[in-house]
Amino acid sequence: MVYSYTYPGGVGRHVEATAEELIRRGHDVRMFAPYDPDDRLARAMHRGARPDAREVPDYLVPLGRTIGIPANGAVSNLSLTPYATSVLGRAVRDTSFDVIHVHEPNAPVVSWFAIESARVPVVGTFHSYSTSRLVNGFTANVLNARRMYAKLHARIAVSEAARWTAQRFYGGTYRIVPNGVDLSAAPGGSKEKADHLRLLFVGRADERKGLPVLLRAFEALHGAGIDARLTVAGATEEEVEPYLLERDGVEVLGRVTEDEKWRLLHEADVVCAPSLGGESFGMVLTEAFAAGTPVVCSDIAGYR
pLDDT tens-digit readout, 80-119: 889 999 999 888 887 789 999 999 998 888 999 999 999 9
Mark whether 155 and 282 lie in a shared domain. Answer: no
Mark whether 48 and 148 lie in a shared domain. Answer: yes
More confident residue, 217 or 188: 217
Mark whether 31 and 163 lie in a shared domain. Answer: yes
C-beta of residue 155 within 8 angstroms of C-beta of residue 177: no
Mark whether 146 and 39 lie in a shared domain. Answer: yes
Query: Quick one: CA torsion of 247, 249, 254, 258, rounded to 10 degrees?
Result: -170
Rounded Cα distance between 3 and 34, Å, is 6
> Which of these, 59, 53, 172, 44, lies nearest to 105 by C-alpha position?
172
pLDDT (0 to 100) of residue 178: 94
Which of 176, 197, 228 delimits the end of a domain? 176
pLDDT tens-digit readout, 230-271: 999 999 999 999 988 888 899 999 999 999 999 999 999 999
Q: Is the pLDDT of residue 279 over 90?
A: yes
Quickly state the pLDDT bin for 285 (edges 50, 70, 90): very high
Q: Does residue 5 form part of some domain? A: no
Rounded Cα distance between 297 and 299, Å, is 7
Measured in whole angstroms, the distance separating CA 42 from the mean position of its chain's CA atoms is 19
Helix (H, G, I), strand (E, B) or coil at 225: coil
Tell me the average pLDDT across 15-33: 95
Mark whether 111 and 205 lie in a shared domain. Answer: no
Give the structural domain span for 128: 10-176
Which CATH number characterizes residue 80's domain?
3.40.50.2000
Mark whether 119 and 214 lie in a shared domain. Answer: no
Phi, psi of 63 (to 5 degrees): -115, 25
Mark whether 147 and 19 lie in a shared domain. Answer: yes
Quickly state the pLDDT bin for 23 (edges 50, 70, 90): very high
C-beta of residue 263 within 8 angstroms of C-beta of residue 114: no
* pTM above threshold 0.85: yes
Phi, psi of 170 (to 5 degrees): -120, -5
Helix (H, G, I), strand (E, B) or coil at 188: coil
Domain count, the chain: 2
Mark whether 89 and 188 lie in a shared domain. Answer: no
Mark whether 15 and 148 lie in a shared domain. Answer: yes
Pair type for strands 154-157 and 122-126: parallel
